[in-house]
Amino acid sequence: MDAYESGFVSETPQSEEDMDVRKGPWTEEEDFALKAYVNTHGEGRWNSVARLSGLKRSGKSCRLRWLNYLRPEVRRENISPQEQLLILQLHTRWGNRWSKIAQHLPGRTDNEIKNYWRTRVQKQAKQLKCDVNSKQFRDAMRYVWIPRLMERICASSQSPSAQPDTPTNQITYETTSGCGSVQVDPSLLPELSGTSADSLYAQVSSISDLTDCYNPNSLQTGSGLCSENLGGTWNIDGGDSMESVWNEENIWFLRQQLYDDDLN
DNA sequence: AAAGTCTACAACCGCTGCGGC
DNA sequence: TGCCGCAGCGGTTGTAGACTT
């Protein structure tokens, strides 16, 4: 019987209390007890929560369970293309600072974003046989994935006129589907470097069927990709539901916050 | 239908920073 | 100033369910 099945782990206990610390999946009863306690006493002082609520869990475990699962604000839906785009943008800016990224995605937890990155984004890097932090992969993200996401966002909205005014530091991306345009952070657009575009083209082409739709010479306008042919290799999944919460206006608001953050 | 493999996600662990003493 | 406890963060692991063979 393993630790999860038993619910207890018998690592050399340091004290009487340690012998009682429960691990593994939370039960409904535990969730209920934790919710009740937090609703009455509020968040914080997690070690006290663990002690006073009667839960045989560590303070850390209580905190994690509350923040990642029980909090009423936590959203359980799939990550939308808008959110995916934001995650990619924010990760380009901040790297693996998941909590900082999560601050800009209401209802999403750092754990969820981290999991998304590891399971979906790193999977793509693996398929490209390059490191997720490599220039090749970053370029692939810029040239292939982000344009593809923008196509999807655009296709789902189909209302370019509904977008707020373009901030001066944004660039209009004309989509290939002819459905209008999407604004994008210029730092994420191709660097107009023929060399990197060419090498990326070679690499992506070697593992996928992008040849017909990828034109490096068109990268300057961001219109060199034919998104229809990308699905086979670039799985922009997890966003089948288009939540109204993530409308264009909210995306713009969050982006504006990012620029403010950079200034501070 | 069963076995094997893959994927998504919940949860744990170790480390770091911060505040109080 | 150093120590201690706590909260928070990011990396990693384990497991259940989905999918494939």
- Name, of A96-100, A175-179, A193-197, the range with top average pLDDT: A96-100
Q: Are A240 and A149 in contact, with CB atoms under 8 Å apart? A: no
What confidence score (pLDDT) does residue A133 get? Answer: 72
Q: Which residue is nearest nucleotide B11, judged by alpha carbon to C1' distance?
A: A24
Give me the CA A75–C1' C17 separation in Å, rounded. Answer: 21
User: What is the residue extent of each domain of chain A?
Assistant: 3-70, 81-263
Q: Is the CB of A217 under 7 A from strand C?
A: no
Give me the CA A237–C1' B13 separation in Å, rounded. Answer: 30
Least confident of A100-109, A173-182, A203-212: A203-212
What confidence score (pLDDT) does residue A136 get? Answer: 78
Give me the CA A231–C1' C16 separation in Å, rounded. Answer: 28
Give me the CA A97–C1' C4 separation in Å, rounded. Answer: 27
Percentage of chain A beyond pLDDT 90 is 0
Tell me the pLDDT tens digit for each residue of A5-60. Answer: 333 333 333 343 445 688 888 988 888 888 888 888 888 788 888 788 888 888 88
- Name, of A66-75, A152-161, A176-185, the range with top average pLDDT: A66-75
Residue with tokens 């901040």: A94
Residue with tokens 């839960």: A55
Measure the CA–CA gap between A24 and A19, rounded to whole angstroms: 15
A239 Cβ contact partners less than 8 Å away, ≥ 6 residues apart: A78, A79, A80, A81, A82, A83, A84, A152
Tell me the pLDDT tens digit for each residue of A119-168. Answer: 888 777 777 777 777 777 777 777 777 777 787 777 776 644 433 333 33
CATH class of A3-70: mainly alpha
Measure the CA–CA gap between A218 and A214, rounded to whole angstroms: 8
Give me the CA A82–C1' C5 separation in Å, rounded. Answer: 41
What confidence score (pLDDT) does residue A260 get? Answer: 54
Tell me the pLDDT tens digit for each residue of A236-263. Answer: 443 333 333 334 444 454 455 555 555 4
What confidence score (pLDDT) does residue A131 get? Answer: 75
Residues 89-128 of A with CB under 7 A from strand B: 111-112, 114-116, 118-120, 123
How far are the Cα atoms of A171, A184, A256, A259 from residue A168, in angstroms, in the given order?
Answer: 8, 11, 11, 11
The protein footprint on chain C, as nucleotides within 7 A of a CB, is 5-16
